């Protein structure tokens, strides 16, 4: 966030200058518009009127005699010209930001997000996402990158779910959630674990219920080209995340998605370091409950959204409950993929029974 730029915009007359809407153009290359596309994600039925979402699990239309999903379990994604959006009132400074690349406005049960050169997104009450491309040249992949990321994350937060920024994998009905800064190895670890029989629950957005169940979300993995080649894959068969970016989305036929919610067994905070010699993965206990809570607060998906939508209190309580259900442990990974694959074969990532971080036979933090 660039607060000085936001302040300058406000001095020019209005916070709304940050999200001044231009008439949207519906590009001709986004696929069929005649029938809605139905999918399932995070326990919700997703009705996308105008945009195909191949990253999501398809859902067959209900038979005429079959009851429709309850209204609160079905969401709609639709093309919505930004020029036709209702006018918005002024928002407090903390709820309206611009950094030259993104603009954000948050009101009661509504969030508007502009990604310059990509498009505008309007998220309403946990029930609907409207999208509008910035120009006819925006590709469907670029739209989906933000729609299935920030926009969908905002919708889940509006629905009151705890949303973490990481990925989740499942084995035999139990799940681990991997967290960490960009470059910590979340996607690399997920690829290595899928090669060993784990199934992917979600990537980027990890939604967890109050009962400690990790919901099957968006099963996609994105790798930089160098990591992709280290696994022996060729980028020619992968989909670029965006034009000109050497980051790719794993093809659906190589994914191992998990279709059902799984009980959370372990939270891992990932860190990479140089690896010398043959040794097992290092696990380091978080020093205290307060330390673990501080780490988890840093792993919330889009904290600005959480704050602007007034979900700080509920998120804090949800994290405290989560720590009582599953421990948070630092997992130190090798900095090379070959070493990672080797040490994973001798590592048990799910505890055999629920334990607290003080009960784990771990190294003390350094």
Give the end of a domain, one of 114, 130, 158.
158
**Res. 354: pLDDT tops 60:** no
Q: Are residues 98 and 181 in the same domain?
A: no
Q: Are residues 114 and 192 in the same domain?
A: no
Q: Are residues 89 and 203 in the same domain?
A: no
Q: Are residues 273 and 148 in the same domain?
A: no
| DSSP code string of 44-105 | EEEEESS---TTSEE-PPPPTTSPPPPGGGEEEEEE--GGGSPP-----GGGEEE-SSEEEE
- Taking only the tens place, the pLDDT of each residue in 87-103 is 887 666 567 777 778 89
- Taking only the tens place, the pLDDT of each residue in 249-299 is 888 788 889 999 999 999 999 998 888 766 777 888 887 889 999 999 999
**Res. 140: pLDDT tops 80:** yes
What is the spatial distance between Cα 108 and Cα 308, in angstroms, rounded to a whole number? 9
The answer to the question of residue 132 being in a domain is yes
Q: Are residues 72 and 133 in the same domain?
A: yes
Q: How confident is the model at residue 312 (pLDDT cuts 50, 70, 90)?
A: very high
Q: Are 197 and 205 in contact (CB under 8 A)?
A: no
The model carries a pTM of 0.83
Structure tokens at 76: 């709609």
Q: Are residues 15 and 98 in the same domain?
A: yes
How many domains does the chain contain in total?
Answer: 2
Domain that holds residue 86: 3-158
Q: Are residues 43 and 103 in the same domain?
A: yes
**Res. 152: pLDDT tops 90:** yes
H and E: helices and strands count for the chain: 9, 19
Q: Are residues 176 and 45 in the same domain?
A: no
CA-CA-CA-CA dihedral for 109, 114, 120, 125, to nearest 10: -10
Q: Are residues 52 and 180 in the same domain?
A: no
Q: Are residues 60 and 110 in the same domain?
A: yes
């Amino acid at each position: 966030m660039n607060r000085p730029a936001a302040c300058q915009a406000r001095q020019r007359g209005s916070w709304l200058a940050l999200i001044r809407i231009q008439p949207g153009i519906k590009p001709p290359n986004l696929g069929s518009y005649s029938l809605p596309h139905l999918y399932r994600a995070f326990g919700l039925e997703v009705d996308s009127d105008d945009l195909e979402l191949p990253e999501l699990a398809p859902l067959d239309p209900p038979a005429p005699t079959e009851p429709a999903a309850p209204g609160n379990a079905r969401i709609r994604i639709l093309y919505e010209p930004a020029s036709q959006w209702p006018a918005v009132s002024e928002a407090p400074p903390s709820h309206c930001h611009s950094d030259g690349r993104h603009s954000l406005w948050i009101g009661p049960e509504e969030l508007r997000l502009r990604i310059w050169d990509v498009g505008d997104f309007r998220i309403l009450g946990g029930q609907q996402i409207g999208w509008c491309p910035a120009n006819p040249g925006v590709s469907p992949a670029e739209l989906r990158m933000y729609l299935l990321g920030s926009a969908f994350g905002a919708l889940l937060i509006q629905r009151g779910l705890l949303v973490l920024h990481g990925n989740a994998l499942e084995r035999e009905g139990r799940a681990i959630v991997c967290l960490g800064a960009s470059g910590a190895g979340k996607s690399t670890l997920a690829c290595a674990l899928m090669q060993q029989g784990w199934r992917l629950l979600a990537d980027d957005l990890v939604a967890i219920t109050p009962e400690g169940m990790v919901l099957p979300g968006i099963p996609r993995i994105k790798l930089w080209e160098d990591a992709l080649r280290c696994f022996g894959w060729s980028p020619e068969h992968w989909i670029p995340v965006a034009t000109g970016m050497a980051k790719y989305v794993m093809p659906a036929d190589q994914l191992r998605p998990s279709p059902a919610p799984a009980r959370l067994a372990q939270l891992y905070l990932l860190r990479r370091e140089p690896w010398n010699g043959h040794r097992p993965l290092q696990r380091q206990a978080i020093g205290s409950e307060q330390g673990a809570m501080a780490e988890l607060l840093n792993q919330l998906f889009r904290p600005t959204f959480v704050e602007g939508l007034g979900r700080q209190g509920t998120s804090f309580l949800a994290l405290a409950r989560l720590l009582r259900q599953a421990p948070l442990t630092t997992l130190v990974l090798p900095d090379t993929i070959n070493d990672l694959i080797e040490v994973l074969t001798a590592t048990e990532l799910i505890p055999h029974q629920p334990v607290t971080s003080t009960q784990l036979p771990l190294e003390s933090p350094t």
